[in-house]
Amino acid sequence: MAIRNFLFCCFGSGSRKTQTVEGVEPRVVSTRSIALDDKDQEVEVKSESLTDSLSSLESSTAPALQHQTTQRALCVVAKHTYELNDDIPYPSIDSPNEILIRTFAVGLNPIDWKSVDYNFCMPSFPWIGGRELTGLVEAVGSEVSEFKVGDRVWASTYYRDRRAGTFQELCVVPQHTVLPLPASLSMEAGACLGVAALTAAMTLWKWLGVPMPLHHGNAAERHNQVKSQEAEYILIWGGSTITGQFAIQLARTSGLQVIAVTSAKTSTLAKNLGAQHVVSRDSKTNEQVVSAIREIVGDDLTLAIDIVGNETGAHCLTVLSKSKPSTLAPLAFLKANEQIPENVSIAPVEMKRFIIEEGNRKFGLELNRLVEAGALRMPEVEVLQGLEEVEVGLQMLKRGDMGGRKLVVQVA
């Protein structure tokens, strides 16, 4: 372990609410269960005692740095059960390229409640969820060159490392997964870059093969790029989802014409973000939505992203061109036995690639460039206060009535 710098208690710890539950060891300040879901799938999860697991998290931080020895985290301690715990050991930097971040804000995402309800992406109990954050760099490993203590950053994290779960006050992540937070963004606004924005960027530019926006050429080159792609359409089914809002904008920046499917209440949002055509799904069957899309694009649709579920994913397959090579990116997956037409390829959207392939950092950098250029509008954000509100927020997400707003929890 090597730590070059350390900033003690940069913000927040004084303001948190702490309740003591007598006789419980380690100290648990809140316990609640989430409702079971009838689609529940059992996945084998190794169960450890809380104490054993927490000791495996124990900090190897040098004695001189042990000002703060514990931190608060929201743990999943069993299927469907969270516990807020103030006695999680201060995490260690275990390799020279890692960064310790003091979490300021975390974005909430459907994967956060799905993984708890369906019991996946939690290698053992207790586990700490959460996939994206903004915060301040607290300490860096000896080989970290791009960041220093106190930097404002955003990060997209990996479920396989408990130290990287963002539902805790301190997270440890590899430096290539961390990006500087653009100066124009608040910590709360930046908390949706790590999942929704990055997923939209990688889906378009990596898995669908859409060219990244030209930013080195002159104005004439940029005009020609956009012009040459003017006729190419992309369907974004779920245009008002947080991921969809980024996908619409990035597709436009890359010169595509966007057809978005939303509800009537969010159709103006999709239009304002740059969708040329918005098909409202209100009072329509999915088949009627498909007919409305075909009226716009005929047999020319070759690119589609489904951001809703396996039924809408299947309908995307029916609206893609029957004669041209086409690609669908199903972000919420397809049924295992779905019949895929021969001319259609399925783009495998695997966000773990951002973590395990360092070269994908370029997509985060391009997002930052677009934000700094004022070319990317961030979603409207609703902020909840404190880790104790994560469960409340996840229930709100689950109900699906956010109307295009991003839920963010301020941790610090």
Ligand X SMILES: NC(=O)c1ccc[n+]([C@@H]2O[C@H](COP(=O)([O-])OP(=O)(O)OC[C@H]3O[C@@H](n4cnc5c(N)ncnc54)[C@H](OP(=O)(O)O)[C@@H]3O)[C@@H](O)[C@H]2O)c1
User: By the criterion CB under 6 A, which residues form the site for ligand X?
Assistant: 109-111, 195-196, 199, 237-238, 240-243, 261-263, 266, 281, 307-308, 312, 331-332, 349, 351, 397, 400, 402-403
Question: Between vectors from CA 52 to CA 47 and to CA 57, what angle results, nearest 5°?
Answer: 105
CB of 235 to ligand X, least distance (A): 11
**Closer CB to ligand X, 170 or 349, in the complex:** 349
The helix, strand and coil proportions of the chain, stated in percent and rounded to the nearest 5, come to 30, 25, 45
Q: Residue 231, exposed/middle/buried by CB under 10 A (0-12, 13-18, 19+)?
A: exposed
- Among the residues of 68-159, which ranges form H helices? 110-117
End-to-end CA distance of the chain: 26
Alpha-carbon torsion angle 335, 340, 345, 350, nearest 10? 10
User: Least separation, in Å, of the C-beta of 28 and ligand X?
Assistant: 29
Least gap, CB of 169 to ligand X (angstroms): 24
- CB 406 → ligand X: shortest distance, Å? 7
Q: How far is the CB of 366 from ligand X (least distance, A)?
A: 18
Whether the CB-CB separation of 138 and 6 falls below 8 Å is answered with yes
Q: Smallest distance from the beta carbon of 363 to ligand X, in angstroms?
A: 13
Minimum separation from the CB atom of position 268 to ligand X (A): 11
Distance between CA atoms of residues 336 and 6, nearest Å: 49
Q: State the number of CA atoms in the 13 A half-sphere of 131 facing the CB.
A: 25
- For ligand X, give the closer residue by CB, 99 or 307: 307
d(CA 79, CA 126): 10
The tokens for 407 are 């839920």
Q: Which is nearer to ligand X, 193 or 242 (CB)?
A: 242
Q: Which of residues 88 and 397 has its CB atom nearest to ligand X in the complex? A: 397
Beta carbon of residue 279, minimum distance to ligand X (angstroms, whole number): 9
What is the Cα–Cα distance from 25 to 167, expressed in whole angstroms? 21
Token digits of residue 127? 């586990």
List, in sequence order, the alpha helices (H) in 36-152: 50-56, 110-117
Rounded (5°) CA angle 256-257-262: 120
Q: Which residues contact 72 (CB under 8 A, 6 or more apart)?
A: 16, 84, 85, 86, 88, 168, 169, 387
Between residues 178 and 236, which has the closer beta carbon with respect to ligand X? 236
| Closest to ligand X by CB, 109 or 168 | 109
One-letter amino acid of 220 = A
CB of 281 to ligand X, least distance (A): 5
Q: Is the peptide bond before 26 cis (omega within 30 degrees of 0)?
A: yes
Q: Which is nearer to ligand X, 88 or 269 (CB)?
A: 269
Alpha carbon distance 229, 216 (integer Å): 18
Contact 126/53 with Cβ under 8 angstroms?
Answer: yes
Supply angle C-alpha 188, 112, 252, rounded to 5.
60
Q: Which is nearer to ligand X, 1 or 111 (CB)?
A: 111
As measured in angstroms, the least distance from the Cβ of 151 to ligand X is 26
Q: Give CA–CA dist 334/188, Å, rounded.
A: 32
3 vs 105 by CB, closer to ligand X = 105
Least Å distance, CB 247 to ligand X, is 9
Residue with Cβ nearer ligand X (133 or 412):
133
Q: Which is nearer to ligand X, 142 or 263 (CB)?
A: 263
